[in-house]
Amino acid sequence: MTTMTEASVREFKMPDVGEGLTEAEILKWYVQPGDTVTDGQIVCEVETAKAAVELPIPYDGVVRALHFPEGTTVDVGTSIIAVEVAGAAPAAPEPQPAPAPQAPVPQAEEPQPEGRQPVLVGYGVAATSIKRRPRKGPEVPVAQASAPQASTVIQAELNGHGPAPAADRPRPLAKPPVRKLAKDLGVDLATVTPTGPDGIITRDDVHAAAATTRPAPQQAPAQAPAPAQEAATPAAPAGAAAPVTPAAAHDAARETRIPVKGVRKATAAAMVGSAFTAPHVTEFVTVDVTRTMKLVEELKQDKEFTGLRVNPLLLIAKALLVAVRRNPDINASWDEAAQEIVVKHYVNLGIAAATPRGLIVPNIKDAHAKTLPELAQSLGELVSTAREGRTSPAAMQGGTITITNVGVFGVDTGTPILNPGESAILAVGAIKPQPWVHKGKVRPRQVTTLALSFDHRLVDGELGSKVLADVAAILEQPKRLITWA
């Protein structure tokens, strides 16, 4: 028995790498079963709803199993990799005093390093680790319920967790995405047997329950072969339908379906929420930025900017920061719960960045306090990190006002949607030569169109117009960066 306690298997669970995230997709494994790993070594890369993040393993050992292949979306708290760790056995059996009355039980627990609850990092086994739910219909709680209790049963069913729990029936353990899946599939979570860590119901558990419950109405016929065939059909309804007719196969070849997940899914939800929560107003101004473009070229030759990225976006960002300083009420957010306007005395300047995984908006913390060279350095680091897909969740939190540069795509302007939690966003159009009246004569000048969208609950037309006019005035006469600062 002593030799079997010299090593144990530790389960590394999917952590919450952001704030309140419930799932992440495994993008790439850097290790395989049999590989030796050390504390702090990166073992995989995952993508959450906010960013791609590399995960380090928290202990030394040998990889025994990878529980999920690349491309799988895994709930936070689910074990993703098993590592055999030498000399770590005492920590695993400690939470297991419940089965102790039988002498052989402790001996049987220690040699079971199979990625189950006894070796989960930081948890262990509760007294009722299996948590099987009674497979009784609603007649039990209904029979005991008065009128208010009956309404509780209905409400519980609407929430996706089946009949109201009785005194001896604990609430099923499942994360919000799994509860929603169960609700969509019409599965009563109280009838699902959990296989996840600590008795948590997983997506696979819900799908398995759905597959077993769908053929139930076909049990009435006495013919045995028919239910067996039909039971297999619901397991893959989409896949079975496509090859049925040549027309369906032809349509499938003409279309590509891309799962919406990760950053793109979060962005879509955020934009819908923003568009239908904050009343948007967008104003436009077309401005001659010839002097700004000349200043950009001069700054490129300045030794203070050696090695730094100098472009029009740098001066546009600085112009917006000066405009915010002159009109501080634009830098605010709406607190719906408290019914208050929260004015921020700092500027975390968001820069919308298009990446292969979707649109993200990292922000430069305390951009208002940075010098122009410091701002140039921060912009360069932000863009490079975003293009490499290494933007951290922290870098995308706490923004106060945003710039989106649609001009890089040759677009004149647009009506940008507010980043959630912010009151304004500035869209910058393409800068290109256009005929312009300059000093009484029509001449070719470098011209662009700016668009400012703002939340009309806390920004009225006057304030929004002043901010947009100030940005335009600075870009037309960049010396105002000195006089207005």
Residues forming the active site = 456
Angle, alpha carbons 425-428-430 (nearest 5°)? 160
Cα(409)–Cα(413) distance, rounded to whole angstroms?
A: 10
Cα(95)–Cα(118) distance, rounded to whole angstroms?
A: 8
List of long-range contacts for 126-133, beta carbons under 8 Å, 24+ apart: 126/198, 126/199, 127/98, 128/199, 129/198, 129/199, 130/194, 130/199, 131/170, 131/173, 131/194, 131/199, 132/193, 132/194, 133/169, 133/172, 133/189, 133/190, 133/191, 133/192, 133/193
Please name every residue paired with 353 in a beta bridge, in sequence order, or none if there are none: 360
Angle, alpha carbons 473-476-481 (nearest 5°)? 65
Residue 437 tokens, joined: 């009246």
Residue 271 tokens, joined: 């934009």
Closest CA to 419 of 458, 362, 368: 362
Closest CA to 112 of 136, 84, 76: 84
